[in-house]
């Protein structure tokens, strides 16, 4: 598979009720996730208004001066808050950190502040999108469970019961890539080559473009923005869980070469689903290809390598 397929999710979209036969959708989706590891979903059911609000309030947040944003710097204990330019290096082999800023959040009741005084709409709009992404990811888990022929359609969904409640590290992250400098540091990119850590990622991107995904021929191909769609991909934990059946594909965001694009900010919002912290991740096919590990131990081992 060399391109990223667009899949119509209408049948099981957010807001749809009732039992439907997911077999065809499931095989279409698993074929994509076993191949290139990415797909676009159209008709996913999350309203454009909710997505746009999260993008515009994020922009308001990131447009503030650094000293304002620093007040809300990421707490290592919770993976919550603002991370500044060049701090994260998603590909540790690159010489410098990524040219991006991010805001990470969960829905858990944490003793942490939002910048609500200066950007009142940021918290409610991100929380709303988190809720919608929780719903959509659970529906995608149903489809994948059917595609993997697991005993129960709700099997994977049940492994993510605590999303947004407690003891689950599922994170919504707003990313802001500022317009580029005329001369960038050697080897610096917007987002270095990496695969995601968790089970499933949903990604909303603006119209600027730049996301690239490694295809089955080891070539990076553009994941061109398609209005109205969400990009879906598999994380490393899900690859391990499925004994390498579903693929956690490497991706990156390079610096545009076109002068007009270089002078524009880029925004995206990613939802990283993780199974409940204490869940033991054992190969679903009983092959024991990888040792069992708890969801939280796996995630912590990955964070150590990034920060």
- Contacting residues toward ligand AKG, per CB under 6 A: 175, 191, 196, 203, 205, 211, 251, 253, 268, 270
d(CA 61, CA 35): 37
Q: Which stretch binds Fe ion (CB under 5 A): 11-19, 156-164, 175-183, 190-198?
A: 190-198
| Closest to Fe ion by CB, 88 or 196 | 196
Residue nearer to ligand AKG on the CB measure, 53 or 196: 196
Q: How far is the CB of 89 from ligand AKG (least distance, A)?
A: 12
Closer by beta carbon to ligand AKG, 242 or else 268 = 268
Cβ(156)–Cβ(141) below 8 Å: yes
Q: Which residue is nearest to Fe ion (CB)?
A: 196
> What is the nearest approach in angstroms of Fe ion to the Cβ of residue 281?
19
Report whether 274 contacts 199 (CB < 8 A).
Answer: yes
- DSSP lists the bridge partners of residue 293 as 281
H-only helix segments in 74-196 = 122-147, 155-158
Q: Does 142 bind Fe ion (CB under 5 A)?
A: no
Dig out the tokens for 7 from the structure: 């899949």
Nearest Cα residue to 16 out of 38, 36, 52, 46: 46
**Shortest separation between residue 191's beta carbon and ligand AKG, angstroms:** 5
Contact 243, 284 (CB under 8 A): yes
The 3-state DSSP class for residue 65 equals: coil
Min dist CB 59 to ligand AKG, Å, is: 14
- Which tokens in the block code for residue 11? 């049948």
Under rule CB under 5 A, how many of the chain's residues touch Fe ion?
1
Q: Among Fe ion, ligand AKG, none, what binds residue 33 when CB lies within 5 to 8 Å by partner kind? A: none
Specify the residue, 147 or 235, whose C-beta has the smaller distance to Fe ion.
Answer: 235
CB of 205 to Fe ion, least distance (A): 11
In angstroms, what is the minimal distance from the CB of 231 to Fe ion? 10
Q: Which helix (H) or strand (E) holds 82?
A: strand 81-83
- By beta-carbon proximity to ligand AKG, the closer residue of 147 and 275 is 275
Give which of ligand AKG, Fe ion, none residue 253 binds (C-beta under 5 to 8 Å, depending on kind). Answer: ligand AKG
Q: Who's near 134: CB < 8 A, 6+ residues apart?
A: 107, 163, 164, 170
Which residue's CB is nearer to ligand AKG, number 236 or number 285?
236
For the sheet with 251-253, list strands across it.
191-194, 251-253, 211-214, 220-222
DSSP of 260-295: HHHTS-EEEEEEEE--BTT-EE--TTS---S--EEH
Tell the smallest beta-carbon distance from residue 282 to ligand AKG (Å). Answer: 26
Residue pair 198/292 in contact by the 8 Å Cβ criterion: no
Kindly state the smallest distance separating residue 220's Cβ from ligand AKG, in Å: 13
**Residue 175 interacting partner from ligand AKG, Fe ion, none (CB closer than 5 to 8 Å by kind):** ligand AKG
Piece in contact with Fe ion (CB under 5 A), picked from 50-58, 118-126, 139-147, 194-202: 194-202
Chosen from ligand AKG, Fe ion, none, partner binding at 238 (C-beta under 5 to 8 Å by type): none
Q: Which of 46, 274, 281 is nearest to 163 (CA)?
A: 274
Residue from 53, 98, 142, 196 touching Fe ion (CB under 5 A): that is: 196
Q: How far apart are CA 72 and CA 69, in angstroms?
A: 6
By CB under 5 A, name the binding residues for Fe ion: 196
């Amino acid at each position: 598979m060399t391109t990223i397929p667009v899949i119509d999710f209408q049948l099981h979209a957010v807001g749809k009720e009732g039992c439907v036969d997911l077999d065809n959708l499931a095989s279409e989706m698993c074929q994509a996730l076993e191949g290139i590891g990415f797909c676009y979903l159209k008709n996913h059911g999350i309203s454009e208004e909710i997505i746009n609000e999260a993008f515009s309030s994020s922009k308001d947040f990131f447009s503030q001066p650094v000293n304002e944003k620093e007040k809300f710097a990421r707490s290592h204990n919770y993976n919550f808050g603002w991370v500044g330019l060049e701090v994260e290096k998603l590909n540790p082999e690159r010489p410098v950190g990524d040219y991006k800023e991010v805001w990470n959040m969960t829905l858990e009741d944490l003793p942490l502040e939002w910048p609500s005084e200066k950007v009142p709409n940021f918290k409610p709009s991100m929380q709303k999108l988190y809720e919608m992404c929780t719903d959509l990811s659970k529906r995608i888990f149903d489809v994948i469970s059917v595609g993997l022929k697991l005993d129960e359609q709700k099997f994977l969904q049940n492994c993510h019961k605590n999303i947004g409640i407690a003891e689950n590290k599922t994170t919504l992250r707003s990313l802001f890539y500022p317009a580029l400098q005329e001369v960038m540091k050697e080897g610096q990119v917007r987002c270095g080559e990496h695969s995601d850590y968790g089970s499933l990622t949903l990604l909303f991107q603006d119209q600027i473009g730049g996301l690239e995904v490694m295809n089955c021929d080891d070539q990076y191909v553009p994941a061109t923005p398609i209005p109205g769609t969400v990009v879906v991909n598999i994380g490393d934990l899900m690859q391990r869980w499925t004994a390498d059946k579903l693929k956690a594909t490497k991706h990156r965001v390079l610096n545009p070469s076109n002068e007009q694009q270089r002078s524009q900010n880029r925004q995206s919002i990613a939802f990283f689903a993780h199974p409940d912290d204490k869940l033991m991740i054992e190969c679903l096919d009983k092959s024991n290809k990888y040792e069992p590990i708890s969801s939280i131990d796996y995630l912590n081992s990955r964070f150590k390598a990034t920060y």
